[in-house]
């Protein structure tokens, strides 16, 4: 008997973690951190009480490196897990950047709380210790075992696993797991996070198996459609033309992993096709984005054919797109002396931390400048306030007038939309024995379930709740 227990991403989009129990093994698919909202820390603390002895877990399968899928791996190891973590080579490399950074942020937050407590700030009742240290994050990376896409691995007796291209971020995969039970086998498919077809940089998601006994499919955008890529390109071109005509700078808040690399490829492709003039002042001002870009280039085998062609064109035309990866803080500060013609791509993507705040402080008050929003902006973030039309925002505690033009671009999500998800599911020859909708808000999953029933005729759909257990 195969059993699935949901410890995260059940009725919400973070904290992905599923316990799988078969006759031959007990293992986890992902071990992600809950993110966003005031309850995230409490959820992460509760998640650490997994309801089982972590030392009895035989192995972990990681679909990709995003923190909502990998972020509690160090804590799992701190609690006693010593087994292997299987992931693609690119996912392991990205986790080597993301996990220590996550730990560093937690350590700095605890230090800040401790300082305020010592100063007698009575609003700070207690200091929240980090879930894990940088040392713990670096240690768990030594437990990672690389498995290239398409290669078969047998992590335990009676269990076979294959990683397939998911097209979400570099190294992302959906999983095919075959578990033997006596003379029978159970085939489980875990979608992880799926990307959109025809997007820059990565290969398209590989089609799923023809059949499965159980399927876990993400539903992040299962209730909506993304804007077509052509319209997205038009929006980007319009933002550049407006800013150059006004003789200003264009600031682009961007997620360090995935989105920054996609933006660079888009700019190169728009220049190649003559939709943008050559750019000679493009700055990537984010140490993590610089690291992620180096890792991306080291895994060019994962690029789609169009990106390989673009890279060859850029090598043959070195003056068309000049990109500087800013290393030190002094050079970062010097960017703010440039009065026009600069493209500054910086993290964080929602403008709430990092070097982007300094560039916004300098460029937002200037009506000739532009801010290009290329990703989702969560409620309560500085980026969301800008998108909502705030005339004045606070940066580093000081009021900053927002006179720059705010350009919001749709269509660059790394997640498949409803149509893409349905197309992917439509490749199954027959409905899976049981389909679990995960990694989506409850309302979104309900809409997606209705769409699956209407288009594909599937009936055995489950919207699991946190902690629920099901037999396959």
CB contact at 8 A, 68 and 195: no
| Beta partners for residue 60, in sequence order | 28, 85
Helix/strand/coil for 252: strand
Class in CATH terms, 3-224+415-471 = alpha beta
pLDDT confidence of residue 39: 78
180-191 pLDDT, tens per residue?
A: 988 899 999 999
Separation of first and last alpha carbons in the chain = 7
Contacts for 394 with CB less than 8 Å, ≥ 6 apart: 400
User: What are the C-alpha distances in Å from 201 to residues 4, 170, 297, 411?
Assistant: 34, 9, 10, 15
**Any idea where the domains of the chain sit in the sequence?**
3-224+415-471, 229-408
3-30 pLDDT, tens per residue?
A: 999 999 999 999 999 999 999 899 999 9
Q: How confident is the model at residue 328 (pLDDT cuts 50, 70, 90)?
A: very high
Q: Which of 368, 103, 372, 134 is nearest to 246 (CA)?
A: 368
Please give the share of the chain, as a percent, with pLDDT higher than 90: 85
User: What are the C-alpha distances in Å from 339 to residues 143, 281, 300?
Assistant: 48, 12, 35
pLDDT confidence of residue 120: 64
Task: For domain 229-408, give the fold.
Answer: Rossmann fold (3.40.50)
One-letter-per-residue 3-state SS of 1-14: CCEEEEEECCCCCC
């Amino acid at each position: 008997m195969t059993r699935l227990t949901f410890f995260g991403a059940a009725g919400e989009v973070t904290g992905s973690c599923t316990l799988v129990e078969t006759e031959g093994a007990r293992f986890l698919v992902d071990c992600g951190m809950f993110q966003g909202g005031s309850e995230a820390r409490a959820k992460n603390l509760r998640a650490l009480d997994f309801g089982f002895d972590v030392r009895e877990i035989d192995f972990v399968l990681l679909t990709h490196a995003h923190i909502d899928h990998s972020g509690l791996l160090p804590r799992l190891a701190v609690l006693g897990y010593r087994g292997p973590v299987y992931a693609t080579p690119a996912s392991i490399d990205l986790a080597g950047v993301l996990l220590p950074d996550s730990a560093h942020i937690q350590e700095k937050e605890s230090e800040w709380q401790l300082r305020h407590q010592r100063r007698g700030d009575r609003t700070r009742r207690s200091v929240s210790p980090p879930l894990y240290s940088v040392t713990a994050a670096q240690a768990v990376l030594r437990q990672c075992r690389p498995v290239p896409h398409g290669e078969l691995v047998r992590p335990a007796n009676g269990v076979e696993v294959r990683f397939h291209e998911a097209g979400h971020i570099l190294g992302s995969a959906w999983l095919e797991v075959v578990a033997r039970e006596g003379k029978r086998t159970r085939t489980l498919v875990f979608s992880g996070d799926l990307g959109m077809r025809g997007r820059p940089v990565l290969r398209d998601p590989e089609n799923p198996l023809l059949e499965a006994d159980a399927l876990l499919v993400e539903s992040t955008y299962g209730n909506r459609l993304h804007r077509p890529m052509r319209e997205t390109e038009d929006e980007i071109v319009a933002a550049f033309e407006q800013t150059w005509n006004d003789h200003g700078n264009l600031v682009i808040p961007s997620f360090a992993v995935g989105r920054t690399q996609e933006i660079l490829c888009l700019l190169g492709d728009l220049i190649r096709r003559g939709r943008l003039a050559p750019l000679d002042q493009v700055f990537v001002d984010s140490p993590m984005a610089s690291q992620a870009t180096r890792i991306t280039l080291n895994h060019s085998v994962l690029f789609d054919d169009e990106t390989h062609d673009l890279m060859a064109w850029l090598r043959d035309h070195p003056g068309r797109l000049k990109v500087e990866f800013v290393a030190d803080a002094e050079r970062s500060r010097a960017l703010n002396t440039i009065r026009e013609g600069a493209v500054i791509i910086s993290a964080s993507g929602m403008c709430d931390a990092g070097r982007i705040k300094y560039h916004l402080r300098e460029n937002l008050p200037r009506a000739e400048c532009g801010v290009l929003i290329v990703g989702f902006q969560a409620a309560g973030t500085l980026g969301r306030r800008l998108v909502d039309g705030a005339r004045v925002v606070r940066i580093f505690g000081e009021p900053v007038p927002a006179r720059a033009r705010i350009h919001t671009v749709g269509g660059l999500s790394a997640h498949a939309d409803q149509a893409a998800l349905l197309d992917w599911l439509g490749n199954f020859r027959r409905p899976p024995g049981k389909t679990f909708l995960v990694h989506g808000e409850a309302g979104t999953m309900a809409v997606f379930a209705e769409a699956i029933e209407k288009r594909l005729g599937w009936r055995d759909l489950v919207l699991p709740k946190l902690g629920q257990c099901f037999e396959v």
